[in-house]
Structure formats: C-alpha cells, structure tokens
A and B are shown apart, each in its own frame.
Chain A
C-alpha cells in the first residue's frame, strides 16, 4: 500500500476525533469558551503584531545601520525565545505519539510530519507567533513593496519551520531525559541562570558586550541565521540573504529529521523512556507534614510534591520575584509612597495563586482511577475537598515564602507592615479562590497528564472561569489598595486584607459541606471524566 491514502485516512481520523471531542456531550460550553479565549488572544496578538510591523516598516525605510540591526535581532530573537520557551513548557498543542503510528502501513516519518503540522494547527500559541510574523511581514510590505517580499516570505517560513522542528527536537530529548530525576529542574535552573546572566550583562555599556553576543549568537542558530538574512533583505541585498535562508531551511530539515529519529527510537523502545517518572520520595517536608495531616492530605501532598509543575514553579517564581525586586523596584521612586513601592511584592503574593491555578481549578484531574477510592472510602466528600484545598494552599504558601525570601534578598527590604500585608493578601485570597475553584473542579473536571505542559490539564471553560475568579478576587483585594492610596494609610490596607481574609476563611468553611454535597451528587460524571470511563 502506498503511504498517501493511508496518510490521508489518518489525517481525516485526527480531524474527526478532534471534532468529536469538541462536539461531544456537554462540550458546547467548552467550544464557546475556547472561542472566547481565542477572541481574547487576538487583540493582544494584533497589538504585538502592530509593534513588530511598525519596527519592520522603520527598518525597511532605514535600509541600513543600527536601526536595521536592532529591528532584525529584536524581531527574530524575541519571537524565537518566546516561542521556544512556551513550546517547551506551556504548549497547548495536541501531543502526538508516534507509537500509535507504528501499527499502520504508513511510513512513520510522514506520520511524524503530519503530527508536527496538525500540532501547530491545533495550538493557539503557534497561531499567535505566526500572527506576529505576519505583522512584521505586513510592515515590511508597506515599507517597500516589491519582489524582494518573496524571499522575505521564504525567510519567515524557514524561520518558523526551524523553530518548530527545534522545539520538537527539544521536546523529544526532554521527554527522554525526564526519566532521570531532576533533569528537567536542572534544565529550568540553567535557563533561569542564563536569563540572570543576560540581565547582569545589561549593567555594562552595549559596546562592551555586543561583540561577545555577536560571536555566541550562532549557538541560537534559528534567530541568528534569520536575523542575518533579515538584515540583508531589509537593506535590499537579496542575493546576500539567500545563503542564510538556505542554511536556515537545511537546519530545519536536519532538526526535524533528528527529532523524528529520537521519537522513533523512543517509540520502538516501547515509549517507556518518554514517560516522566515520579520520584519515589515526596521530599522530607512532605513526609513530615503528611504524617501529621491525615491520609487524605498526605496523598495530596505526595502528589503535589511529585508534580513537575510544582518543582518548576519553585524555580521560576522565585526567579521572577527576584527580577522584580532587582530590576523593577529601583524604578519606583521613593516619593511614590510605601504602598506603591510594595505593589511588586503584593503582585508576587497574588501571582503564586495564578501559577498554581490548575490545582484549584481541576483538583481531581490527576487522580485517575484513584478518584474511585475517594468515593469508596468512608470519608465525607467535604473532607476530600478540604484535604485537596489544604494541600494546594500549603504548596502556594511555601512557594510564596520562597519567592518572598528571594524578593527580599534581591532588593531593598520592604517595611514590616508590607511583609505582613503581603502574607495577609496571599493567605486571604487563598480561601476565596479555592471555594470558587471547588465548584469548577467538580462541575468541569478533566483527566490531566502528570506533566509540566498545560495541554489537557485545564479545559477552556475552566480556564475562562479561572480568569473570572482571579479577576474577581484581585478586584476585591484591590479596592483596599485604592483606599489606602487615597487616605495615605498603609494600616488601612493591612486591616482590610486581614478582614477580607477572615471573611474568606469563613466563606470557605461554610462552602465545604455544600461543595461536598455537590461532589457526591456529581460523582458519576466526575468519575467518568477523570477515570476516562464511560458509564
């Protein structure tokens, strides 16, 4: 049998299954939510595309010099680093498992290519990057219309292909290496250290570090080759750009081939190497706490301690907090007042909840068949929710403690009232978010992969609800900030947050048995979704 018809059939199957998933029972709301999320992303995408288009236009008009160099470098390096980081950590695209393809009489290489292409088509993030490149291309076309736009289009396409295949290679390698404990964390730590190094370099004049950056840029070959070709094309030197475009295409093919070979090897080895291993130990802190908090909380703490998203967050969030204290806080003048100067710290206190939202919006997502045990055991459904919430709040509090410590260490030590207020804000928001999150977890659960990637962890409807809940809680806790600024009283802020937090704890306690009743009544639908079992 030739590969063509088989490939077409499999492509059709993939589209059909995707459509069925969207059209399945109870999915209409999910479809509407997904459309709403796309609609919300489009204005942001258009805004950034407009920026890139404007920079591209100015570069074309300038033709040569620093403006062209900076525009080409910013365009390709900026898009590339964001695309790669999101692609490796947060991709929403459909995962493609080559193992499934091996059973069919279709060349697996073609299947892999098909998986890569359909993965891009189903990934809103990928659409976002392509929108940005589209903006840059439009800006260039407005700046100087002519046949030179064809090689520019080829450059953008080659750049996109090289980035996609490099991300695919990175994913395949990470999936293999993730079997080794702490590898992923080490990789994230290296990334954070790299960013720190870059920021540290910006302390020195551009002329000091630019020559070094020019030499090492080729390590990041997709943006480096693309920026070199872009500089020539913007300057009207089409022939000089062609070797770089060709090199970019060749690199894309090479990366794609390498990614395919790694994927094939993993698939032929049974795919075991691709599965992330959960460490046997949950950490001494988890063990110490779990021994004191009862079996339900112990189970939840073990799960959280072993979840890669928590481990990676423990590296990334403190780094973000440190960055805020190091680079943003010095920009806020002393005259702005203590409340304004404390806002970055308050932002960290709230941001931690946002980072961990999958755990309070899809609390049963990782339980799998174990969710049955929660209903078979003689425990009250409210106690199950309390344990899940308690563990999630504890994880958030520890993460905030870590981030806060880094924040304080990296910048000016905030006044005592600000530290207490940040803790009150963090602890006060938690019960409001978890009380509302319980309703979402019960009403719209989804079986989630035990992986770093968000894809599949949170249904679009839950993500939308999460935005509304977070916005509501931020608004609720934001009102005292405005009042404190108006009355110039930081103690008003602290008092209001403590009061809101206390009200939140009461509301959470009040909601638990009611949410437990809802959980008991919705157990069949929840188990069907979380265990993947159709009743």
Chain B
C-alpha cells in the first residue's frame, strides 16, 4: 500500500503557483526525502498533506484515506513536525507531551507514561518541568519530535528537522529515526536542505523545483549517475552567469 499518494496536487497563492500538479507516490515503510531549493514548494506540500493548507486543486490519499473527505481519520494516523514547530510555549515539556498524546486519543495515564519515556529518550528529562519558552531551539525540535511520536503514528512528516540544531542533536534524532524505520514501525516523509544527512538516512528521494516534481525514485536509482548532491544540482540547477564583483569591496593583495 502507498503511504502517500497525490494526484495533480496544486496550490496557488494569490494566483501564483507554489505547487503545481504534484503526483507523488510514497510506499509504506519508506524513508522518503523530499528535497528542493528554497521556495520550491516543499513546506507547502507538507502543509497540504497534513491538513494545514487546503489544495487549490488535486487530491491526496494518506494511508488509504482521502484527506479531503476524512481529515480526522488521517490526522489520527500521522505525526507531524511542521516548519516553525507546533508547540505551546507556556506549557512545560512534560505537559506539552502528555496533552499532545491526549489530543490524539490516549488516556491521561498512558500519555503521561509515554511522555516520561520520550523525555528520557530525547534527553529532555532534566527540563521536563520547564516551560517550553525557556527551551533552546534544539530542545524545542526534540520536543516537537516527541509530540509527533507520542501517539504511535504510522506516518511521520518532518519539515526541516535538522535545521538550526547542533551536530550532537542531529545525531540523536537521526539514530532515533533510523531505528523507527528499520523496525518498520512507520513511514517517514522528510524535507531537508542538508543533503549529506538525507543521503545517509533515506530510502527514497523526490526532488521538487518551482512547484513541480522533477525527480523521484529510490536512493539507488537517483544516485545511479552520481552523488545525491550532484543529482540534486543537475535536477534544479540552472545556468547562471558568474556574479559581478562588488565595486566597494575590492580584492586585497597580500
């Protein structure tokens, strides 16, 4: 079964296309890296797939459910770490996780127990009683990941999970995600700019450019003609003239 299937998914902002007729097929159990330059339409696609944005045209099926027809059923099955995160800054970390779990249908005791486990696993136990507003950016990212996982989703959406966090935190998150996918616990759909990290994580890659899917396949297929970075640059690269030198910043000679 396909975890994500879209047909002609389109979104316009003020008449300008952000995503144009996107046909996406993500197999269940895949670790799908959705790549593209800034403004290519990655976050817009993810927002449409998680129900934050309504498409201008087209349809999406998530884990067999039509997103437009049954959004609540879809939301029960997915977890999401959106760009900008979805955290209530005035709750403590422990409250945030537990309440998030309860919002997804867990009873209070189960949600509290899972929250404790996640806080330990995400190395946030010592800050469990602090309000989220006092967390660092990396801690917030880890907490947001915990929120997305607490109800045991079948499909996880991650928008730029490695942006703005240190190498140590990247390593921890990467290890957790690899374990989850390896145990076939869930499907991951991830956007990122960090190609090196993506290359070490994903099983499938899709590249979007100017709102259109320009490349799609397994990592092996995509890398057949070079590294992921080379393939990416070929897929989205355009001939650009060498930038002119800035007149007020003359080069200094030694």
Contacts and interface: CB of A to CB of B under 8 A. Distances in A.
Are these two chains actual partners, yes or no?
A: yes
Interface of A: 275, 277-278, 280, 291, 294-296, 298-299, 302-303, 306, 366-373, 375-380, 450, 523-524, 527, 531, 533, 535
B84 interface: yes
A533 B13 contact: no
A369 B92 contact: no
B86 A370 contact: yes
B50 interface: yes
Contact of B89 (A294, A368, A524, A535): A368
B103 A373 contact: yes
A370 B88 contact: yes
Nearest to A372: B86
Nearest to B50: A376
A302 B91 contact: yes
A295 B99 contact: yes
A299 B50 contact: no
A379 B100 CA distance: 11
Contact of A380 (B44, B72, B83, B87): B72
Contacts of A367: 88
Contacts of A376: 50-52, 75, 80, 82, 86
Given A299-B91, A376-B52, A376-B80, A369 B85 contact: yes
Contacts of B51: 375-376
21 contacts: A277-B131, A280-B92, A295-B103, A298-B99, A299-B91, A299-B99, A302-B91, A302-B95, A368-B88, A368-B89, A369-B89, A370-B86, A370-B88, A372-B86, A378-B73, A378-B76, A378-B103, A378-B104, A379-B72, A379-B103, A450-B89
Contacts of A378: 72-73, 75-76, 103-105
B129 interface: yes
A523 B52 contact: yes
A367 B133 CA distance: 12
B84 A372 contact: yes
Contact of A524 (B53, B82, B88, B90): B53
Residue of A298, A303, A378 with most chain B CB atoms under a 10 A cut-off: A378
Nearest to B129: A280
A382 B34 CA distance: 34
Interface in B85-121: 85-92, 95, 98-100, 102-105, 108
A535 B88 CA distance: 20
Contacts of B80: 376
Interface residues of B, number: 39
A180 B57 CA distance: 52
Contact of B108 (A275, A291, A303): A291
Contacts of A533: 83-84
A379 B102 CA distance: 11
B52 A278 contact: no
A377 B102 CA distance: 10
A370 B103 contact: no
Nearest to A292: B108
Nearest to B147: A373
Contacts of A280: 92, 129-131
Contacts of A380: 72
Nearest to B74: A378
Given A302-B95, A375-B52, A296 B103 contact: yes
A248 B44 CA distance: 59
A531 to B, nearest CB: 6
A43 B76 CA distance: 56
A306 B132 CA distance: 13
A529 to B, nearest CB: 13
Nearest to A534: B13
Nearest to B83: A533
Contacts of B13: 535
Given A376-B82, A377-B104, A523-B52, A306 B99 contact: no
Nearest to A370: B88
B78 to A, nearest CB: 8
A535 B84 CA distance: 12
B93 to A, nearest CB: 10
B185 interface: no
Please name the 4 residue pairs, one residue from A and one from B, whose CB atoms are nearest each other, closest first. A370-B88, A295-B102, A372-B86, A378-B75
B17 to A, nearest CB: 14
Residue of A295, A298, A380 with most chain B CB atoms under a 10 A cut-off: A295
B233 interface: no
Contacts of B99: 295, 298-299
Contact of A373 (B73, B100, B133): B100
A524 B52 CA distance: 7
B214 interface: no
A532 B128 CA distance: 27
Contacts of A277: 131, 134
A379 B50 CA distance: 14
Residue of A280, A370, A376, A524 with most chain B CB atoms under a 10 A cut-off: A376
A354 B71 CA distance: 37
Nearest to B91: A302
Nearest to B78: A376
A369 B102 contact: no
B220 interface: no
Given A376-B75, A523-B52, A294 B84 contact: no
Residue of A299, A306, A527 with most chain B CB atoms under a 10 A cut-off: A299
A306 to B, nearest CB: 5
A533 to B, nearest CB: 6
Contact of A299 (B47, B88, B131, B133): B88
Given A295-B102, A375-B52, A378-B104, A306 B90 contact: yes
B54 interface: yes
Contacts of A524: 52-54
B72 A278 contact: no
Contacts of A306: 90
A291 B95 CA distance: 11
Residue of A370, A371, A535 with most chain B CB atoms under a 10 A cut-off: A370
Nearest to B73: A378
B87 A369 contact: yes
Contact of B86 (A275, A303, A373): A373
Residue of B85, B95, B102, B103 with most chain A CB atoms under a 10 A cut-off: B103
A533 B84 CA distance: 8
